[in-house]
Structure 1
């Protein structure tokens, strides 16, 4: 196939994939996956009744999902109103169980939100400014990192760093600062796994901090986990044995300032843990699928978030190891360790003063 026709086919295929994600948005927002997971197979009329939706719309949604293999149908030859549809057990963790680390039902919401800001993004690309802040409504704030942090941060990732794990288990109890903590699940996860430590989470988003404070109350950890609205470049009081910056440094307009602040807060023997995207060591084209994925979010979100400040580092999502080393050196760190483990999406760095 020549390159012209290959590109036509690629765009057509990607358009179908985008539409599938919008159909997943509908399923997530309308509770269709949850209803199939909780109450089992259903006809279109039964699923519509369970979810308070219109049968004709739901019939089309079910047929689309069956055509794409997202749900199973018992008898394709049956009359449309008599077909029964099942959400396969293997798909429940991905589409219906928000507590599972494999949950990806939120991807439709992410893509819908990204599409809404495209007109503003077009103008931002012209002016060099940041686009206006987008409200979280009507979907509400996504907490897609919750199961990952609760199941892996304190149970797998931190124990894999012996010096950090040892300090978090030792006396006197360690103090941890969690920069750009969002709705607080990273801070809560660390406190759950290390019952002696205290964690102070900070974020610029007041709504996120309010949610984080509520989560700390709900989990019974508000005596050891506190949250406040603050810039990562503002020094917190006291000394900390660990400062974490989890999937956030590349979004910051002043990453060196944030790292310099983190360094100034460290107690003797303390270090900074940075989790960021798993990217190639250098620019590559054509790039692997994961690199293309990160570039997509950099175009739509990560780079725009850091624009608007004339002094912004404008890092974008593709913060390569050499870039982080340069930032860390400028912030006064003597060592930048690329830790000898990673996930499918993230790389880990430990910065030593």
Structure 2
């Protein structure tokens, strides 16, 4: 399309198309429609409504939309509406129905629907420079979107790619790990699973997340080696000596990152390590930018930056934290070097911090 005005109008139409599709994915995930199609096999709208305790007329419209969008398949599009049978293609199961597959992505629809609810408050926050009020996790409940990724890769691929860290976690005496901003604890659990000698202490500001983390550790049979505490890692007084401190996909959200890193320095044993995983932002501002950079910026505007703006001493980092920014924070906190680790994923960058001795 040669006309830039028409091209932009077309882009916004396609963006609206995608947003509406995600809203219907939200319904499919929340109502268990994908799981019912997968577990119970092909169904008419009447059968799927019966399986899920939902209203047939709503389910029929949802199925027709999903078939029109290529998300489900229909056996005979010419059949009468109540006679059409729909199925979830096998290739779509990992993305839409299988919560234990690393490719599961229906959580993105939950994220987008939740973000939309904050927009009126965010308009006010833009005007005042403050933070919008916290959004309750209900009715969806807290998402564990990184759970499968951590359980699949953290202790089996990523930490083993740092040889001396891997050796220490496998050695005697048992290593101690502090997992900061641990959320529901799946990163802590993944480390303990992979390293049977290690003990892991998880810390997070969110009391509800810590309660979930404790339940998760118990259900995984790891409560004897994994513990959780509600704590502000940027506040003074966090005690303990650790061979490894991790901050995984949470550092850019910290309002006072330098204070947090200063606290981390006091927690390290001699030879201890700090590993940070954060967004894989470009080294320099670029416009227009690749899709992943746009994705990070979008979340920064609607979620990550607003979440840090309630602290009067906030660093206001935002999700697009470039390597130079992390280096500056680390230097201010007394770390001598920041190493970018040769571990490659599309979304995340891996750092190791070495303290000045």
| TM-score category of the 2 structures, normalised to the smaller one | over 0.9
Query: Partner of 2:24 in structure 1?
Result: 23
Query: Partner of 1:64 in structure 2?
Result: 65
Matched, 1:322 2:329: no
Paired residues for 1:88-127 under 5 Å? 88-127=89-128
CA distance in 2, matches of 1:308, 1:203: 17
- The runs of at least 4 consecutive aligned structure 1 residues that moved more than 3 Å come to none
**CA displacement at 1:54 relative to structure 2:** 1.0
**CA displacement at 1:195 relative to structure 2:** 0.3
**CA displacement at 1:310 relative to structure 2:** 2.4
Paired residues for 1:78-89 under 5 Å? 78-89=79-90
State the secondary structure of the residue aligned to 2:343.
strand
CA distance in 2, matches of 1:194, 1:230: 24
Unaligned runs of 5+ in 2: none
Query: Partner of 2:254 in structure 1?
Result: 252
Query: Partner of 1:210 in structure 2?
Result: 211
State the secondary structure of the residue aligned to 2:342.
strand
State the secondary structure of the residue aligned to 1:342.
coil
Give CA-to-partner distance per residue, 1:278-333, whole Å, 9 cap, x none. Answer: 11111000000110011000001000011022221100000001100111111101
CA distance in 2, matches of 1:50, 1:338: 50
Paired residues for 1:274-353 under 5 Å? 274-353=276-355
State the secondary structure of the residue aligned to 1:340.
coil
Give CA-to-partner distance per residue, 1:230-261, whole Å, 9 cap, x none. Answer: 00124433310000000111001100111111
CA distance in 2, matches of 1:125, 1:91: 39
Matched, 1:12 2:4: no
**CA displacement at 1:134 relative to structure 2:** 0.7
CA distance in 2, matches of 1:307, 1:239: 31
CA distance in 2, matches of 1:141, 1:288: 30
**CA displacement at 1:163 relative to structure 2:** 1.3
CA distance in 2, matches of 1:35, 1:113: 24
**CA displacement at 1:162 relative to structure 2:** 0.7
State the secondary structure of the residue aligned to 2:341.
strand
State the secondary structure of the residue aligned to 2:335.
coil
State the secondary structure of the residue aligned to 1:281.
coil
State the secondary structure of the residue aligned to 1:314.
coil
Task: Give the superposed CA RMSD.
Answer: 0.8
Unaligned runs of 5+ in 1: none
State the secondary structure of the residue aligned to 1:77.
coil
State the secondary structure of the residue aligned to 1:312.
coil
CA distance in 2, matches of 1:310, 1:138: 30
Give CA-to-partner distance per residue, 1:16-36, whole Å, 9 cap, x none. Answer: 100000000000011000000
CA distance in 2, matches of 1:114, 1:72: 30
CA distance in 2, matches of 1:6, 1:306: 35
CA distance in 1, matches of 2:53, 2:83: 19
Give CA-to-partner distance per residue, 1:38-70, whole Å, 9 cap, x none. Answer: 011111111111111111111111111111110
Give CA-to-partner distance per residue, 1:109-130, whole Å, 9 cap, x none. Answer: 1111101111110000100001
**CA displacement at 1:78 relative to structure 2:** 1.3
Paired residues for 1:172-191 under 5 Å? 172-191=173-192
CA distance in 2, matches of 1:178, 1:207: 17
Give CA-to-partner distance per residue, 1:208-245, whole Å, 9 cap, x none. Answer: 00010111111111111000000012443331000000
